[in-house]
Chains A and B, each alone.
Chain A
Amino acid sequence: MSNSERPNQLFRNLNAKIASIPMILTALVVFVGGTAWTVLYSFTNSKLLPRLNFVGLDQYHRLWSTSRWLVSIENLLIYGVISLVFSLVIGFLLAALLDQKIRFEDTFRTIFLYPFALSFIVTGLVWQWLLNPDFGVQRVVRDLGWTSFSFDPLYNSSIVIYGISIAALWQGTGLIMCLMLAGLRGIDEDIWKAARVDGIPAWKTYLFIIIPMMRPVFITTLVIIAAGIVKVYDLVVAQTSGGPGIASEVPAKYVYDYMFFAQNLGQGFAASTMMLLSVVIVIVPWAYLEFGGKKRG
């Protein structure tokens, strides 16, 4: 806009171009080039070293017939649904509670958000300890006299992914709460006054007026949660290392293990391309909704 009245673009902007070299290199070489490279090599039979020996969709056929990958996908879906539903619901409820003009709001917010400052490794290890059946919650409840009580999600392959989800929710809900709180604060106070004058109960006001008004906040939050779900890796590594057996494997771990341990690069590339595909499926509709109509710089 304001650039138009500046003299001589090319020479004047040389410094800006120099300053943008890291961005240009990152965008072109790493993001575009790296992604294209990985997708291309996912069609080869690269083992220990990347080789351009094309085998068509073989890696993908193998991927989708590997039980470990199928378990990973199933886990990701369960983990994803739990994360989405519970972090949205809990995050919104906490934000709504904090929005009641309460005292000590800052204290409560600080407490709900502090786990987000911790890494997934720390989170995973704490919850590994809390959920340890010999010393943790199960033992404590049994010591209270309920001797048949059983709660060992990390050692029970059918529920291990829920144990991981508990830790993930503890770590991440505070962030969602903060985003929701910002959304609630953005609602005009007059809306509340009007609703009160009309005698609409608070819960109805939230459900039918406030939440629909917060649509953009919800969509942004949804994208943030979804992007985080696909990337889940360190939490699983710390909490269960994928175990018991392969019961808590996730796609990101599959990629890493095949690239750096199993020396089967082709599988790793194919799996990471599938991860990319799942992100594209989430992001493209959102980007279309968000930026499709209006053009912004």
Chain B
Amino acid sequence: MADTASRSPGAEALRRGATGPSGPKPRHMLSRRNIFLYGTLIVVALYYLLPLYVMIVTSLKGMPEIRLGNIFSPPMEITFEPWVKAWATACTGLNCDGLSRGFWNSVRITVPSVLLSIAIASVNGYALANWRFKGADTFFIILIVGAFIPYQVMIYPIVIILREIGIYGSLTGLVIVHSIFGMPILTLLFRNYFTSMPEELFRAARVDGAGFWGIYLRIMLPMSLPIFVVAIILQVTGIWNDFLFGVVYTRPDTYPMTVQLNNIVNSVQGVKEYNVNMAATILTGLVPLIVYFVSGKLFVRGIAAGAVKG
């Protein structure tokens, strides 16, 4: 709207006359308003980028340089040794095979958790949107309200349930836990999406004799790929970044990457190797960062939906 308006010179002149420097799209880049605006934004942006920068430069320095120098200065001699050490030989307790173990654990946790939680929630949202049965909304409301219950309240009962089934401490158990706690937000996401799809489509398929699964697989699924992508982004970052469930429901040899990272960095034994710590920290943050930078606007959509999860 505003663009078309400002293209007409009359309106532009009028608006500039009326409001002085606070009008839209001033012609001069170096107006006082712009210097203030971009100046503030750049300063804030630098503040936000600073920790990432410090992480990277610290991870590329040797320990002697870290002890002498300042954390903001770029490395004089770039070394990748901290990265190798963080990945392959850093110690947590008795294990000295580095973060790679945690990385692969996280992969083995994240992939099935994402698939399972999305499969359950999408079918569920579809049932809630198109095949409502009596009482369905009651369960749905409980589910949504449940999303606000602090996890700490439900942690222990789940420990007991998993122990009874015999999967406490295994990756399977953790995958189920992630699917349970991902359910509220994902179900909401899918339900709202499927509700917004044209009803005629669904009815036409019904007339043609398609059933519950037929409509889901052949019509709903192919037409809702964007929302699946949003859900995948949401779940991959959420599950990868999880710490609490990882530390409660797994054992040291199945710890996810975040838990192992924390153990490496905050271990009290031995000399602190800050460069290795920072390399390990970047490695752990890399997966969600890549997801973030690749997905762009979809990520924003995902978090706007998933923010409730906290």
**Interfacial residues, chain A to chain B (CB-CB below 8 A):** 2-3, 6, 9, 12-13, 15-17, 19-20, 22-24, 26-35, 37-39, 50, 94, 97-98, 100-102, 106, 108-122, 125-130, 132, 135-136, 139-140, 143, 170, 174-175, 178-179, 182, 189, 196-197, 199, 201-202, 223-224, 227-228, 230-231, 233-234, 237-238, 241, 251-252, 255-256, 259-260, 265, 268-269, 271-273, 275-276, 279, 283, 287, 297
CB distance from A108 to the nearest CB of B (A): 5
Q: A97-B37, A276-B153 are in contact. Are A122 and B70 (CB under 8 A)?
A: no
* A94 in contact with B154 (CB, 8 Å): no
* A224 in contact with B51 (CB, 8 Å): no
Residue of B nearest to A114 (CB): B292
CA distance A252 to B281 in the complex (A): 23
Q: A27-B143, A97-B41, A230-B150 are in contact. Are A122 and B281 (CB under 8 A)?
A: yes
- For the A-B complex, the count of residue pairs with Cβ-Cβ distances under 8 Å equals 280
Residue of A nearest to B292 (CB): A117
Q: A34-B154, A143-B70, A237-B262 are in contact. Are A13 and B133 (CB under 8 A)?
A: yes
Any chain A CB within 8 A of the CB of B285?
yes
CA distance A201 to B71 in the complex (A): 44
CA distance A37 to B149 in the complex (A): 14
* B49 in contact with A111 (CB, 8 Å): yes
Interface stretch of the complex, out of B75-83, B89-97, B217-225, B241-249:
B241-249
CA distance A113 to B297 in the complex (A): 11
Any chain A CB within 8 A of the CB of B146?
yes
Any chain A CB within 8 A of the CB of B151?
yes
* B304 in contact with A27 (CB, 8 Å): no
26 inter-chain pairs at a CB distance below 8 angstroms, sorted by A residue, are: A17-B133, A26-B183, A27-B142, A34-B153, A37-B156, A100-B37, A113-B300, A114-B52, A120-B241, A122-B261, A128-B265, A129-B54, A129-B278, A135-B67, A139-B71, A140-B71, A140-B72, A199-B19, A201-B22, A234-B243, A237-B243, A238-B265, A260-B248, A269-B156, A276-B149, A279-B149
Q: Known A-B contacts: A2-B203, A20-B124. Give 20 more (CB < 8 A).
A: A2-B199, A15-B213, A16-B131, A19-B126, A22-B183, A23-B143, A23-B183, A37-B156, A115-B48, A120-B243, A125-B277, A129-B278, A130-B54, A170-B47, A196-B15, A251-B152, A252-B150, A276-B149, A279-B148, A283-B148
